[in-house]
């Protein structure tokens, strides 16, 4: 029996996850994520796969984030015909992520094509969409959903089981059992204990090999308990001075966590009644997916909400806004309010209108949750630049800026080490590190060796490893 492991993405970087296990002639692919980053470079990386998707028997999906599922239609377009296995929540999240991506790619292409015709001197390059919505429909037809802990058989001699990864709704670590002789685990993106709504990361059975993510391999987060305290204090401050809180929010998971925490604070009478607007069609869709997946909820969510027939995401003072007309009407709302809107890094979307209308008033608070990439408006706000440009016009940043650091869906290195330490480290022959910048992975490698992991390898792109 020959077993090989290799990766065509998320090697010394955090996007484009595509990992492979080859057992004799059977190839199983884990994740099919899109590369993100600079336009030209990521287009080329997404376009030129360097492998043949039609050789894979099946694709197993760890979760529905774009950098893990975004390239699925590219696999289908390049001849992949097998099953795409995921949990049912991951299937639903992938569905909205992929349609959104197809739409944005088509719009971007049209926009830049028109611009370049108007201004040929700017030499703008429009990139053809990598897939369209019809191809997303075709992709969704290959999905087969399987719940956590239900063993399935993606190829001859290989069984697979999803375990809760505690990262986002539906997220899974994947155990592959090869001919009952060898166990290989994929952590997927690993979450944290005590995140709101979803269950904690689980340990899989003891493993021979582990493919492990290291996004925050060199960082430590504030404890999750802080998140609730931070939200409470920010709301009280805004309420007392009759201000508004504007939050650029990532539409999946962070938005629902924030709503869940606000709802809990309201039930506990820790904060006054305050109007909340969730102003993003995609966040509204994502929230309705959460409502359907009580099987992913943790004990607290079940005890405090589900078992009492209370919707964790619905209460009197929350308004979900989809139409443009209603979105504009929020501007004239008088009194304290919380406006949660997309996009997460404040690069585009309705959040820009809310920022431009509110950023100059010192009564207001811009509450930043999550990671802001360089060059984004979100990053400029976090760095407290005195003036920012929105729709080409300068605005003074007079509003208070609050960064809520406790919200993170990825384990930090201490949490990763604690998770790994639960395994039988004598049996575990080797850990392959993926999904992290090189500095983070180097640091994580040192940390793992310090708890006596036998061998740690930083996975190189396209390199074959014999197991
Ligand atoms: Zn993720």
> 362: CA distance to ligand 1 center in Å?
35
Which run of H or E residues covers position 356?
A: helix 351-358
- Classified as helix, coil or strand, 365 is strand
Which residues line ion ligand 1, judged by CB < 5 Å?
A: 65, 189
Q: How far apart are the C-alpha atoms of 356 and 358, rounded to whole Å?
A: 6
Q: Looking at residue 181, what is its pLDDT? A: 95
Does residue 398 sit in the same domain as residue 265? Answer: yes
Structure tokens of 12? Answer: 């010394």
Return d(Cα 247, Cα 75) in angstroms, integer.
35
Q: How far is the CA of 66 from the centre of ligand 1 (A)?
A: 8
β-strand partners of 83: 58
Contacts made by residues 380-387, CB under 8 angstroms, sequence distance 24+: 381/346, 381/355
Cα 178 to middle of ligand 1, angstroms: 26
Residue with tokens 């009197």: 316
Alpha carbon of 69 to ligand 1 centroid (Å): 10
CA 458 to CA 11: how far, in whole Å? 8
Q: How far apart are CA 99 and CA 81, in angstroms?
A: 20
Q: What is the edge-to-edge ordering of all strands in the sheet holding 400-404?
A: 318-321, 275-279, 337-341, 244-248, 365-369, 400-404
> Is pLDDT of 383 > 80?
yes
Q: What confidence score (pLDDT) does residue 348 get?
A: 82
Q: What's the rounded Cα separation, in Å, for the pair 331 and 182?
A: 59
Structure tokens, 35: 């590369």
Categorize the per-residue pLDDT at 108 as very low, low, confident or very high, splitting at 50, 70 and 90.
confident
- Long-range contacts from 310-317, C-beta under 8 angstroms, 24+ separation: 312/197, 312/259, 312/260, 312/263, 313/256, 313/259, 313/260, 313/263, 313/287, 315/263, 315/266, 316/273, 317/266, 317/273, 317/274, 317/275, 317/276
Q: For 134-177, what is each residue's pLDDT tens digit? A: 999 999 999 999 999 999 999 999 999 999 999 999 999 999 99
pLDDT single digits (tens) 31-70: 999 998 878 888 999 999 999 999 999 999 999 999 999 9
Residue 215 DSSP symbol:
T
Mean pLDDT (the chain) is: 94
The CA 171 to ligand 1 mean position distance, Å, reads 8
Q: How confident is the model at residue 370 (pLDDT cuts 50, 70, 90)?
A: confident
* pLDDT for residue 120 is more than 90: no
Q: Residues 58, 142: one domain?
A: yes
Span from the CA of 65 to the centroid of ligand 1 (angstroms): 5
| Concatenated DSSP letters of 161-199 | EEEE-SSSTT-EEEEEEETTTEEEEE--S---TT-SSBP
- Residue 407 predicted with pLDDT over 90: no
CA-nearest of 174, 176, 154 to 162 is: 174
**What are the residues whose beta carbons fall under 8 Å from the beta carbon of 131, sequence distance 6 or more?**
73, 74, 77, 101, 102, 105, 139
Give 8 Cα–ligand 1 centroid separation in angstroms: 17
pLDDT over 90 at 372, yes or no = no
The pLDDT score that the predictor gives to residue 222 is 85
Element (H, E) at 76: helix 72-77
Q: How many domains does the chain have?
A: 2
Residues 35, 47: Cα–Cα separation, whole Å:
10
Cα of 192 from ligand 1 centre, angstroms: 12
The C-alpha torsion from 115 through 116 and 118 to 123, rounded to 10°, is: 130
How far does residue 257's CA lie from ligand 1's centre (Å)? 15
Distance 167 CA to ligand 1 centre (A): 7
Q: How far is the CA of 33 from the centre of ligand 1 (A)?
A: 10
Q: What is the pLDDT of residues 281-310, one digit of tens each?
A: 999 999 999 999 999 999 999 999 999 999
- 417 shares its domain with 392: no
Give the per-residue pLDDT at 115.
87
Same domain? For 100 and 196 the reply is yes
199 and 231 part of one domain: no
Q: Partners of 257 in the beta sheet?
A: none
Residue 168 near residue 409, CB atoms below 8 Å: yes
CATH of the domain at 298: 3.40.50.10890
Q: Which of 404, 421, 448 is the last residue of a domain?
A: 404
pLDDT score for 374: 74
pLDDT beyond 90 at 276: yes
* Spacing, Cα 335 to ligand 1 middle (Å): 36
Q: How far is the CA of 462 from the centre of ligand 1 (A)?
A: 22
- Give me the CATH number covering residue 462: 3.60.15.10
The long-range contacts involving 129-132, CB below 8 angstroms and separated by at least 24 positions, are 129/102, 129/105, 130/43, 130/46, 130/47, 130/71, 130/73, 130/74, 130/77, 130/105, 131/73, 131/74, 131/77, 131/101, 131/102, 131/105, 132/102, 132/105, 132/106
Mean pLDDT of 317-333: 95
Residues 158 and 291 in one domain: no
Per the model's pLDDT, the better-predicted residue between 460 and 392 turns out to be 460
Q: How many angstroms does the Cα of residue 189 sit away from the middle of ligand 1?
A: 5
CA of 433 to the centre of ligand 1 (A): 16
Q: Is 332 helix (H, G, I), strand (E, B) or coil?
A: helix
Alpha carbon distances (Å) from 105 to 98, 127, 416: 10, 8, 35
Same-domain status, 162 and 237: no
Same domain, 191 and 291: no
> If we measure between CA atoms, which residue out of 354, 290, 356, 289 comes closest to residue 327?
354
Tens-digit pLDDT profile for residues 222-273: 888 899 999 999 999 999 999 999 999 888 999 999 999 999 999 999 999 9
CA 182 to centroid of ligand 1, rounded, Å? 27
Point out the least confidently predicted range of 71-80, 393-402, 405-414. Answer: 405-414
Structure tokens at 214: 């290291």
Contact 74, 46 (CB under 8 A): yes
Mean pLDDT value across residues 371-394: 89
CB of 43 within 8 A of CB of 127? yes
Q: Kindly state the helix (H) or strand (E) to which residue 393 belongs, with its residue range.
A: strand 393-396
DSSP states of 128-171 as a string? PPS--HHHHHHHHTTEEE--TT--EEEETTEEEEEEE-SSSTT-
* Average pLDDT, integer, range 101-112: 90
Assess whether 350 and 397 both reside in one domain.
Answer: yes
Indicate the pLDDT class of residue 373, thresholds 50, 70 and 90: confident
- DSSP 8-state code for residue 411: -
Q: Is the same domain home to 59 and 128?
A: yes
**Owning domain of residue 334:** 225-404
Q: Given pLDDT bands bounded at 50, 70 and 90, which one contains residue 405?
A: confident
- DSSP summary character for residue 306: G
Gap from CA of 68 to ligand 1 centroid (Å): 7
Residues 207 and 244 in one domain: no
Q: Which pLDDT belongs to residue 249?
A: 87
CA angle 127, 129, 133 (to 5 degrees): 165
174-218: per-residue pLDDT in tens?
999 999 999 999 999 999 999 999 999 999 999 999 999 999 999
Is the pLDDT score of 93 beyond 90? yes
Distance 170 CA to ligand 1 centre (A): 11
Residues 147 and 286 grouped into a single domain = no
Coil, helix or strand at residue 100: helix
- What is the gyration radius of the CA atoms in the chain, in angstroms? 23
């Amino acid at each position: 029996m020959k077993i090989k492991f290799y990766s065509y993405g998320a090697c010394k970087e955090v996007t484009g996850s595509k990992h492979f296990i080859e057992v004799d002639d059977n190839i199983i692919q884990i994740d099919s994520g899109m590369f993100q980053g600079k336009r030209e470079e990521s287009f080329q990386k997404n376009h030129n796969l360097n492998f043949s998707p039609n050789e894979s028997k099946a694709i197993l999906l760890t979760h529905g984030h774009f950098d893990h599922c975004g390239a699925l239609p590219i696999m289908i377009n390049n001849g992949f015909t097998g099953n795409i296995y995921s949990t049912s929540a991951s299937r639903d999240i992938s569905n909205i992520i992929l349609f959104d991506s197809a739409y944005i790619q088509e719009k971007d292409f049209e926009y830049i094509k028109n611009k370049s015709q108007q201004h040929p001197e700017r030499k703008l390059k429009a990139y053809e969409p990598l897939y369209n919505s019809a191809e997303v429909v075709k992709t969704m037809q290959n999905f087969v959903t399987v719940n956590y802990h239900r063993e399935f058989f993606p190829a001859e001699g290989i069984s697979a089981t999803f375990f809760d990864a505690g990262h986002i709704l539906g997220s899974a670590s994947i155990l592959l059992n090869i001919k009952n002789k060898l166990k290989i685990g994929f952590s997927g993106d690993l979450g944290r204990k005590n995140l709101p709504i979803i269950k904690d990361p689980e340990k899989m059975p003891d493993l021979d090999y582990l493919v492990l993510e290291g996004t925050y391999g060199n960082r430590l987060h504030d404890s999750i308990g802080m998140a609730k305290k931070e939200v409470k204090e920010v709301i009280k401050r805004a309420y007392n001075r009759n201000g508004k809180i504007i939050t650029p929010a990532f539409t999946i998971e962070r938005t629902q966590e924030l709503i869940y925490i606000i709802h809990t604070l309201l039930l506990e009478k820790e904060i006054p009644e305050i109007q909340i607007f969730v102003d993003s069609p995609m966040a509204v869709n994502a929230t309705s997916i959460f409502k359907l997946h009580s099987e992913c909820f943790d004990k607290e969510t079940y005890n405090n909400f589900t078992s009492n027939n209370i919707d964790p995401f619905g209460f009197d003072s929350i308004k979900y806004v989809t139409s443009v007309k209603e979105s504009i009407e929020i501007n004239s709302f008088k009194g304290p309010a919380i406006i949660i809107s997309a996009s997460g890094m404040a690069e585009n979307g309705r959040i820009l209108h809310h920022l431009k209308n509110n950023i100059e008033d010192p009564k207001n608070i811009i509450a930043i949750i999550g990671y802001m990439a360089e060059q984004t408006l979100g990053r400029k706000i976090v760095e407290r630049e005195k003036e920012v440009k929105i729709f080409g016009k300068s605005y003074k940043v007079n509003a208070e800026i609050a960064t809520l650091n406790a919200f993170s869906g990825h384990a930090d290195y201490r949490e990763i080490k604690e998770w790994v330490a639960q395994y039988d480290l004598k049996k575990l022959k080797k850990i392959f590190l993926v999904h992290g910048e090189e500095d983070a992975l180097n640091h994580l490698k040192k940390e793992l060796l310090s708890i006596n992991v036998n061998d740690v390898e930083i996975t190189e792109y396209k390199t074959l490893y014999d197991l």
